[in-house]
Structure 1
Amino acid sequence: MPLLATARSRAGATLLGVLTGAALGVAAPAAAQPAAADSVLVWYDATAAAIAAGGAPTQVTNNRTWAIAWLAAARAQAGTHSAAGRRAALAGAVHQTLTTLIPGQQSPADATLAAELAALPDRQEVRDSVTAGRAAARRVLTERSGDGLDPASVNIPFPVPAPAPGVWQPTPPQYAPATQYGNRAARPFVLRSAAQFRPPAPPAPGSARYEADLAEVAAYGSATSTVRTQAQTDTATFWLGSSLTLYTPILRAAVAQSHASIADRIRLVALFHVAAVDTQIATSDAKYAYQRWRPVTAIRAGGDTTWLPLHDTPAHPDYPSGHNTYSGSAEGVLTGLAGPRAREPYTISSPTAPGVTRTYTDWHRPSLENVDARVWSGIHTRNADLAGIRLGDDVARYVLGHAQAVLR
């Protein structure tokens, strides 16, 4: 896939050139600090567990929780002067956010806080840092109040347009109402507007590119495909789950392997999720601006009236692919802040492929697999996937380029 490879190569080079310690206002990576690193991972796991157990039904709302908690923790680092103070500020910020946004998870959050504070010296600086973290969280929560990322606002009803060639319609077998229509009206963290990086229009129905893309999905994405290999089916199934669920262990690997300071690791988590939120806002803007029909609708309209995809089609337009905008954003942030390759191989699992794991050595391979997976699932055209990667990359580069403003 030359186009994808070119896009990602450009992204890595650009981000590594733009994002330096000076640009972020942080010190150069220091030697590993086991106690501080453990604390970051403790709260990382606590955040992931709270969201998994009691988070919102909408992915972007859960990314928002991550972003608020860790952005507050990043801001609270400015007033701390010791490792103990930095850990305490992190604890105060994340605990305050989780108990505010996911009150049903108060007990495990309290237990994590108690264990963390028990490991810190009982002195005024630690108590003040916890207070500073809490105050930072309350300020970010106030800033983000009414941002349109609550589940009800995200899924406001979409008036389905009249059927026409190329225009989205509800898809079989559920024919469910469209979702994520309200994302496009939500307030980004960093982007100037949801449409700031809107991709160009998808290929017109009947064009050579359109026909080639549709033929590929019809052949390789069919539920009864005779050309899709078992390996391709396995890839499609592995990457079927939510992007947040699949990328949580990928980001964790980057955090765990980093030799940077506690403050830098916190910033990595914060900026990853800030970019993820803004990417999803931009994705819905593009999806509902173009309202491109899904492959199943197009293939059936072309005469194959019983065609079904390998996996059920999500209830929103084809272009661009949301899985791939998320992947492009994730790869962009990880490449910019952690380098293009992991320090050591990392392994992830998938909720849609129980018992299966995959091991990677960089942040690029998951993007490549995501592009193929959505075609082989029969739910996206390749052009929608590649446009998604580019859009996510654009948002990531912009967020990292404006990191100082959001981290203050």
Structure 2
Amino acid sequence: MTFLAGGAWRRAVAGIAAAVLVTGLPAAAPAAAATKKVDTVLEWYDVTAVAVATGTRPQVTNSRAWAIGWLAAARAVRTVPIGTAHHYQDAALASAIHTALSSLIPEAAPTLDAALQATLSRIPDGRAEERGIAAGQAQARSLLTQRAGDGLDPASVNPAYPAPEPAPGIWQPTPPSFGAAQQAGNRFATPFLLDRVDRYRPAPPPALDSERYRTDLAEVRAYGAADSVVRTPQQTDTATFWLGSSLTLYTGILRAALAQSTRPVAWRASLVAVFHVALVDTQLATSDAKYAYLRWRPVTAIRAGADPDWTPLHTTPAHPDYPSGHNTYSGAAEQVLTALVGPRAREPYTIGSPSQPGATRTYRDWRRPTLENVDARVWSGIHTRTADEAGVELGRDVAAHAVRNASLLFR
């Protein structure tokens, strides 16, 4: 499986973007007043990030919170009542996200309440504020009702999953903890835009006796070992930087796209909404593929062969190898940003990593993080390159579907 590249891919992306910007995302709203100093979209983007970081929940559950909050906001700010200028939109956006996240993450209520008070204090009392608050609350409550019981609560995401009987190629719990499989329930959850989670399921992984699989495993064994003598310090840094939560890492990337955008409030809110809707659906499709194929992890395969003491650089996550979840996330994020923003950032942007505190990386486009993620999972010793590349393709496919069908979110 190869990466999409070249003029054909760029033309396809451009066509998707054109269709969505005409039919899927909202029309331009009146320009904000010249005196406006606080960017309410970025303000609530940061508030959302802080709220989502409160407590411990599965990544897909957190992605769901982003999707519901920002989709409610995007719906609420799509139309501006005559004579209300930007005050209505600011109140509607803040109210929608506050209402949604207060319900989904009640432990973040103090942060959310303080943020709402700060936003509303900048808005003159009157009809614009009142109508904005009402619209935001209504959209959030409607969406919360619609998504109730969608299977993305923590218990549904991680149901009990008995380990399969040991067999060559079949996933088994991995060292050092040999914990039960995680995220097995995602495949049963309700997508936002996919009609079924297996629509873009990748082809099966390479046969165990194939040249491709032997090459894959040899690469991981050499470059992904804890005591590797061929992995460079720079490769170790890349593996460590991209080890953290994809949601956390890409929060900075999406923020850069949002901060650099000159588009109206409604368009920017919709960008965040479509991004996270696509990423929820991608995580469901990832779970479907992982548990359909149940491919064992490199550490299991290598230890079953000639190297029973082999240890990866980083601890292997508790779910099957194929496809790589980190790379489905990267592929989907890249696809949404390329389709809706363009292939390159307006300016270089810098992000940090929770798994490599103090380190930063600077990028100029959305593709480079994907390429680094592919390498990183091999150099960490936790995925084969084929699983990484299949993950990128799956993520791009699901995200392209979300972008094509984004208009359905705003009916």
Normalised to the residue count of structure 1, the TM-score between the two structures is 0.96
Corresponding position of 1:74: 74
Quick one: structure 1 residues 12 and 243, their matched pair in 2 at CA, closer, same or farther if it must change by over 3 Å? farther
Corresponding position of 2:23: 23
CA shift at 1:107, angstroms? 1.4
Deviation digits for residues 74-126 of structure 1 (CA, Å, limit 9, x no counterpart):
11123423311111110110010111111111111111111111111211122
The answer to whether residue 60 in structure 2 is matched with residue 57 in structure 1 is no
Amino acid in the other structure paired with 2:63: N
Match of 1:297 among 271, 296, 300: 300
Match of 2:235 among 232, 237, 247: 232
Corresponding position of 1:400: 403
Corresponding position of 1:130: 133
Contact 2:28 2:267 in 1 (8 A): no
Q: What is the alpha-carbon distance in structure 1 between the residues aligned to residue 397 and residue 122 of structure 2?
A: 41
Residues 1-12 of structure 1 mapped to structure 2, 5 A cutoff? 3-4=2-3, 6=4, 11-12=9-10
Corresponding position of 2:386: 383
Deviation digits for residues 245-279 of structure 1 (CA, Å, limit 9, x no counterpart):
10001000000000111000000000110011000
The SS at the match of 1:113 is helix
Q: What is the alpha-carbon distance in structure 1 between the residues aligned to residue 283 and residue 33 of structure 2?
A: 34
Q: What is the alpha-carbon distance in structure 1 between the residues aligned to residue 15 and residue 76 of structure 2?
A: 27
CA shift at 1:8, angstroms? 8.2
Quick one: structure 1 residues 148 and 341, their matched pair in 2 at CA, closer, same or farther if it must change by over 3 Å? same
Corresponding position of 1:13: 11
Quick one: structure 1 residues 227 and 238, their matched pair in 2 at CA, closer, same or farther if it must change by over 3 Å? same
The SS at the match of 1:344 is strand
CA shift at 1:154, angstroms? 0.3
Quick one: structure 1 residues 159 and 33, their matched pair in 2 at CA, closer, same or farther if it must change by over 3 Å? farther
Structure 2, unaligned runs of 5 or more: none
The SS at the match of 1:177 is coil
Q: What is the alpha-carbon distance in structure 2 between the residues aligned to residue 11 and residue 101 of structure 1?
A: 38
The SS at the match of 1:211 is helix
The SS at the match of 2:220 is helix
Deviation digits for residues 213-237 of structure 1 (CA, Å, limit 9, x no counterpart):
0100010001111000000000000
Q: Per residue, is there more helix in 1 or in 2?
A: 1
Quick one: structure 1 residues 72 and 14, their matched pair in 2 at CA, closer, same or farther if it must change by over 3 Å? same
Q: What is the alpha-carbon distance in structure 1 between the residues aligned to residue 60 and residue 31 of structure 2?
A: 34
Amino acid in the other structure paired with 1:3: T
Corresponding position of 1:274: 277
Quick one: structure 1 residues 137 and 28, their matched pair in 2 at CA, closer, same or farther if it must change by over 3 Å? closer
The answer to whether residue 106 in structure 2 is matched with residue 103 in structure 1 is yes
- Give the root-mean-square deviation of aligned CA atoms: 1.7
Residues 123-162 of structure 1 mapped to structure 2, 5 A cutoff? 123-162=126-165
Corresponding position of 1:38: 39
Contact 2:348 2:363 in 1 (8 A): yes
Deviation digits for residues 348-395 of structure 1 (CA, Å, limit 9, x no counterpart):
011111111000011000000000000000000000000000000001
Number of equivalences: 405
Q: Which moved more, 1:273-282 or 1:20-29?
A: 20-29
CA shift at 1:127, angstroms? 0.6
Residues 283-322 of structure 1 mapped to structure 2, 5 A cutoff? 283-322=286-325
Q: What is the alpha-carbon distance in structure 2 between the residues aligned to residue 7 and residue 156 of structure 1?
A: 39
Q: What is the alpha-carbon distance in structure 2 between the residues aligned to residue 8 and residue 182 of structure 1?
A: 37
Q: What is the alpha-carbon distance in structure 1 between the residues aligned to residue 331 and residue 30 of structure 2?
A: 28
The SS at the match of 1:342 is strand
Contact 1:219 1:227 in 2 (8 A): yes
Structure 1, unaligned runs of 5 or more: none
CA shift at 1:27, angstroms? 3.1
Deviation digits for residues 317-365 of structure 1 (CA, Å, limit 9, x no counterpart):
0000000000001001111111110000110011111111000011000
Amino acid in the other structure paired with 2:12: T
Contact 2:73 2:139 in 1 (8 A): yes
The answer to whether residue 266 in structure 2 is matched with residue 263 in structure 1 is yes
Corresponding position of 1:88: 91
Amino acid in the other structure paired with 1:73: A
